[in-house]
Amino acid sequence: MSRELYFDISSEQSGGSLYKVRGLAGVHFYYNHSTYDDKKDEVKVFETIYPDFATFWKELTKDAKWYYLHPLFVHPEQRDFIRQQLKTVNWSVHPDKKWQESHQRQWKKVLTDPGNYYKGPGG
């Protein structure tokens, strides 16, 4: 079985790494993610299996402000798709222009970096 980093994203309250896993049963996606409750100073760690990237993406984008999360890596296979998704977001939901621009720069960075520059946690 091989595992390849596919998507990595974080925020102060949550984050995770999505891996594309190839095995005898075919391809699936493994998401190792966590949440942080600062009121309780509590971290919870989760593992979720997705049959495909589309299912993962649907779950991630349930958060209407998903684009204000901090992306660390996007696999080259999904970069065009995510560029298209970013064209439809409303950056002005956050009133601070510098905050908007900071997140836009981060998305641009991960969507243009070499595909192998970031190995992710433990990589």
With a cut of 70, say whether residue 118 has pLDDT above it: no
With a cut of 80, say whether residue 105 has pLDDT above it: yes
Whole-model pTM: value is 0.87
Q: What is the pLDDT of residues 13-30, one digit of tens each?
A: 899 999 999 998 899 999
Higher pLDDT, 80 or 114: 80
The burial class, CB within 10 Å (0-12 / 13-18 / 19+), for 75 is: middle
122 lies in some domain: no
Number of domains observed in the structure of the chain = 1
Q: What is the pLDDT of residue 120?
A: 56
Q: What is the pLDDT of residues 44-91, one digit of tens each?
A: 999 999 999 999 999 999 998 899 999 999 999 999 999 999 999 999
Q: What is the pLDDT of residue 93?
A: 86
Please name which of 83, 18, 28, 17 lies closest in space to residue 51, comparing C-alpha atoms: 28
**Structural domain boundaries, residue 91:** 2-112
121 lies in some domain: no
Q: What is the pLDDT of residue 96?
A: 86
118 lies in some domain: no
55 lies in some domain: yes
120 lies in some domain: no
Confidence class for position 113, pLDDT limits 50, 70, 90: confident
